[in-house]
Amino acid sequence: MNVVDSSGWVEYLTDGANARFFVSSIRDAENLVIPTICLYEVFKRVLVELGEEKALDAIGMMSFGQVVELTRELAIEAARISTETKLAMADSIILATSRANNATLWTQDAHFKDIKGVKYIEKKS
- Each residue's pLDDT tens digit, 65-116: 999 999 999 999 999 999 999 999 999 999 999 999 999 999 999 999 999 9
**DSSP tag of 65:** S
pLDDT of 119 above 80: yes
Q: Which domains are present in the chain?
A: 2-109 (3.40.50.1010)
Q: In 3D, which of 68, 9, 12, 15 has the Cα closest to residue 44?
A: 9
Average pLDDT over residues 24-37: 98
What is the spatial distance between Cα 37 and Cα 68, in angstroms, rounded to a whole number? 9
- 45-68 confidence digits (pLDDT tens): 999 999 999 999 999 999 999 999
Instruction: Label residue 85 exposed, middle or buried (CB < 10 Å: 0-12, 13-18, 19+).
Output: middle
Q: In 3D, which of 58, 83, 66, 78 has the Cα closest to residue 2?
A: 66
Q: What residues contact 101, with CB distance under 8 A and at least 6 apart?
A: 1, 3, 33, 66, 68
Q: What is the pLDDT of residue 125?
A: 74
Q: What residues contact 116, with CB distance under 8 A and at least 6 apart?
A: none
Q: What is the pLDDT of residue 77?
A: 98
